[in-house]
Amino acid sequence: MSAPAWLSKKLDDGRVICEACSQRCKLKEGEYGICGIRKVENGELQLLTYGLAAAVHIDPVEKKPMFNFLPGTKAFSFGTVGCNFSCKFCQNFDISQYPKEHDHQIFGEELSPKMAVEIALENGCKSIAYTYNEPIVFFEYTYDTAKLAHEKGLKNIYVTSGYESHKAIDKLAPYVDGMNIDIKGFTDEFYKEICGARLKPVLECVKYAHSKGIWIEITTLLIPGKNDSDEEIRGIAQFIHDLDPAMPWHLSAFYPMYKMLDVPPTPASTLRRAYDIGKEVGLKYVYVGNIDDEAHESTYCPSCGKMVIDRRGHIGQYVTNHLDEEGTCPYCGYKLEGVWH
């Protein structure tokens, strides 16, 4: 379905600029944006996937991953086709890159904002997550859904690569309660060569969304030989720490995928090394994911060190939360940072 992409502006030269993400595509009549799902038609930018979900699941919120955010609850999760990045290691390339690789074809099942909210409520979800592909490329669809979700008492989660423009964040901030933002590497070369993007706008986005009061958790997929040097890992940890030592950091294991089949999986030792660096730098919440390591998936009180959220089994399978509704540690009274109710 097509709907006006209202986060856009007409330029004097007749082109239309999309103001949703930092790619800032300037498009002539008939042209598509880098994401492949925003197109100028009759002089107006259109979002071609409004109300058209290509992937829909009910997931544990831990799977987003969001760990200091309504632990043990379910998130109604959906995404569309299309993406503003072109990561060679994308786990969801079959939807994210589909329009670019199939002559701008799109696909999906009808899922209006109202339907999404109703299904979430019927299934006892506490939140809606915009995920699987990059949500900022279907901004208007997420905005309408998030607004309606808030009215019905649901929270909203953006799972994103962090290319949202400031203008988009201004619009989303009243409705988006949590974001999981990837910092995929800490060099511009990594972003340019492997993701088709740049590092700086991502860091700016993290800072700006944080300044707007959105709860943010960071994810870094560690890829052997590509972004896993001590220097890069420490750089990301320090960036997070300088912004907010309570911002959780998820270190995720890579497995060969899509256009990166020639790189081996991340060894457990790399994840442990990165975990130790994160803790050395002073981050309060560091987690290891995509690998069997329950001890480093649980949450420990930053004050007394006791385990306060116990995570076992597959991600989100068994979650025992010992915190109260305010996130208070039962052992020492420290109020853990996060979204707890």
Place of tokens 């058209």: 52
What are the tokens at 285? 């919440």
| Beta pairing class for 52-53 and 109-110 | antiparallel
Backbone angles phi, psi at 160, to 5 degrees: -145, 160
Rounded to whole angstroms, the Cα distance separating 49 from 116 reads: 15
The nearest distance, CB 7 to ligand SF4, in angstroms, is: 8
Question: Of the ranges 33-41, 178-186, 229-237, 265-273, which one interacts with ligand SF4 (CB under 6 A)?
Answer: 33-41
Cross-strand pairs, 53: 109
In the complex with ligand SF4, the residue whose CB is nearer, 20 or 222, is 20
Please identify, using beta-carbon distances, which residue of 97 and 299 lies nearer to ligand SF4. Answer: 97
234 scored as a contact of ligand SF4 (CB under 6 A): no
Tell which positions 74-103 bind ligand SF4, by CB under 6 A.
84
Does 21 engage in binding with ligand SF4 (CB under 6 A)?
yes
Contact status: 18 vs ligand SF4 (CB under 6 A)? yes
Q: Between β-strands 74-79 and 127-130, what pairing exists: parallel, antiparallel or unpaired?
A: parallel
Residue 24 in the binding site for ligand SF4 (CB under 6 A): yes
Q: How far is the CB of 179 from ligand SF4 (least distance, A)?
A: 16
Q: How far apart are the first and last CA of the chain?
A: 35
> Six-digit token pair at 183?
């910092």
The least CB distance from residue 239 to ligand SF4, in Å, is 23
Residue closer to ligand SF4, measured from CB, 146 or 222: 146
Nearest CA to 183 among 229, 133, 134, 217? Answer: 217
Binding residues vs ligand SF4 (CB under 6 A): 18, 20-21, 23-25, 33-35, 38, 84, 136-137
